[in-house]
Chain A
């Protein structure tokens, strides 16, 4: 009886004790000093998924024994994570505004550098059922429009472009990110949406992109910065260099980004 009750005590205790080092390990696992090689952790805006994955592969090839790990997501969320202490080496944001909390907290090693620009396009479903061909058409009440919410970069850009055109558009939905906005177009739930050129290219034929002059008023700058507390230190700087290199810019241009001339 005493023996069995001692065991009964041991089980929850063991669980608790086992959980404690595991918590520590969870944080330690974030430090990219993996055994036998080095790991570089890059936090990047979701719209960079394709191009950065490719750049990461090139980086790994150029630095044998180094693994590049990505965390793609909403720039604002990534910035939050970095401010809360997430162990990242590099941060590439979809707008200066989302980079700001990180620079405000003095967490970047040097000033962020703009490496790419993304322009808005009108995306319409295949076949363009509402016959949209200019930004004014979005103001037509019969045209169902999806925009990004103004809290996310593509939404802020859309507001800017529409304001520049002096148009008042009432969307049916304000989506949480550009991919969700694009999905609504792909499925034909809306007749038009404002998304980035890069998204139109990524959707590869499922939507049609229409350029419009007011897009120039709402260009989205993508800043990148190595982080001050980068666990992989020098590797972070070298990754930023690769993004800004000819090779990096070619990759970005292929994905639809407007490339910024080297400073």
Chain B
């Protein structure tokens, strides 16, 4: 468990069995070919000009900022929720676990409408938020973060809960015998132990938030500079200029691949 995974990976000797290799390659092709399609059709000559458009950079910046904030929100709320599901026992836990996956199943547009019904100007909580604090979420950047967090949270919760279930709870007992409260044990022992799961969950969560379209445009609307993220810009570009849409998609893909690849290297090199 504590030996570096990098050294163990090479430990299995012999050729990979082809009943695994053939479907694996087919699967890879299935995932990568659409990307190749985008690359082939990309209008490379106009690429630099399009990239320089302030709206593109604005949308990209907004996407990165909101996806990161949404991931932070998910970590803040999702890790404790995962802990509750994995460690605490309470009536209806199965139901709660099923409810956590609702945003995965719900069509995102419906999720956006649901958010409006709760947090919108006339929503159950939204009304109160506006009358008490003067806060309205729809059509604001905060609203984008809310929509993205709603849709992306299950990825984090499921990943972290799995890691917590796999982690040996006796480490928490050892911490208790050393005088650690449950909170200290969680913070200083459990959390570091499940960190790989938390990171994996955060990466999934961030990627999902970055690509979020339906819930965002429904709940937060679409306005350049405040709520128009890259996927929204891509969708609208598709209406009139499919080539522009391809460029925007490639930018989004390239940026996310670079960020994820560089983060992964950093995480796996220091276990």
The interface of chain A, by Cβ under 8 A from chain B, is 5, 8-9, 11-12, 15-16, 74, 76-77, 80, 144, 146, 149, 151-152, 171-176, 180, 183-184, 187-189
Contacts and interface: CB of A to CB of B under 8 A. Distances in A.
Interface string B214-240: 000110111110011000100111111
B217 A180 contact: yes
A149 B22 CA distance: 46
B223 A173 contact: yes
Given A9-B19, A12-B26, A184 B239 contact: no
Most buried by B among A74, A77, A171, A189: A189
B23 A12 contact: yes
B138 to A, nearest CB: 5
Contacts of B227: 173
A189 B239 contact: no
Contacts of B209: none
B121 A149 contact: no
Contacts of A74: 239
A189 B217 contact: no
A132 to B, nearest CB: 16
8 contacts: A12-B22, A146-B221, A151-B239, A152-B239, A176-B232, A183-B113, A187-B121, A189-B139
Contacts of A12: 19, 22-23, 26
B120 A189 contact: yes
Nearest to A153: B239
A172 B223 contact: yes
Interface residues of B, number: 30
Interface string B19-53: 10011001000000000000000000000000000
Contacts of B116: 187, 189
B122 interface: yes
Interface of B: 18-19, 22-23, 26, 113, 116-117, 120-122, 138-139, 217-218, 220-224, 227-228, 232, 235-240, 242
A85 to B, nearest CB: 14
Contact of B122 (A152, A172, A174, A188): A188
Most buried by B among A8, A77, A149, A151: A149
Contacts of A16: 26
Contact of B117 (A76, A172, A173, A187): A187
B218 A180 contact: yes
Given A172-B221, A175-B217, A187 B120 contact: yes
A80 B242 contact: yes
A77 B239 CA distance: 6
B120 A188 contact: yes
B236 A176 contact: yes
Nearest to B121: A189
Nearest to A5: B19
B223 A174 contact: yes
A76 B221 contact: no
Nearest to A170: B223
B19 A149 contact: no
A149 B239 contact: yes
A189 B143 CA distance: 13
Contacts of A188: 120-122
Contacts of A189: 116, 120-122, 138-139
Given A12-B22, A12-B23, A149-B239, A176 B217 contact: yes
A183 B115 CA distance: 13
Nearest to B25: A12
Contact of B236 (A80, A149, A187): A149
A15 to B, nearest CB: 8
B218 A183 contact: yes
Contacts of B232: 176
A173 B237 contact: no
Contacts of A9: 18-19
Contacts of A174: 221-224, 228, 236
Nearest to B137: A189
A46 B116 CA distance: 23
Given A12-B23, A189-B116, A173 B238 contact: no
B57 to A, nearest CB: 18
B239 A175 contact: no
A144 B120 CA distance: 13
A19 to B, nearest CB: 9
Contacts of B237: 151
Contacts of A173: 139, 220-223, 227
A137 to B, nearest CB: 18
A91 B73 CA distance: 46
Contact of B139 (A76, A144, A176): A144
